């Protein structure tokens, strides 16, 4: 399964997920497997990303428009990418 994650750092309406959504759909991600957050990437509490991680299973692929959607800097990216998604029993 392909899952897509979108992040827009401003929730004031000045930015949209439209370009990210279009790219993820074009890459083959099903609309039902798109997850988004409308918050600063500095926040560790991102419910959309947490929900996305919960759906991922071995062999699934997480796709983002840009890598900076996952982590705000190298340290944060390493933490996010090495933290195992919850298992179905969590």
- Distance CA(75)–CA(81), nearest Å, equals 10
Spot the catalytic one: 11, 14, 81, 84: 11
> Is 89 a known active-site residue?
no
* Phi, psi dihedral angles at 81 (to 5 degrees): -80, -20
CA–CA distances in Å: residue 52 to residues 14, 45, 62: 24, 13, 8
Residues with a catalytic annotation lie at: 11
């Amino acid at each position: 399964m392909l899952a897509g994650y979108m992040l827009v750092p401003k929730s004031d309406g000045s930015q949209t997920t439209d370009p990210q959504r279009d790219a993820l759909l074009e890459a083959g991600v099903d609309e039902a497997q798109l997850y988004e957050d409308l918050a600063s990437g500095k926040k560790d509490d991102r419910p959309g990303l947490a929900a996305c991680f919960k759906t991922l299973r071995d062999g699934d692929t997480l796709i983002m428009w840009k890598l900076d959607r996952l982590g705000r800097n190298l340290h944060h990216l390493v933490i996010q990418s090495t933290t195992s998604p919850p298992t179905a029993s969590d």
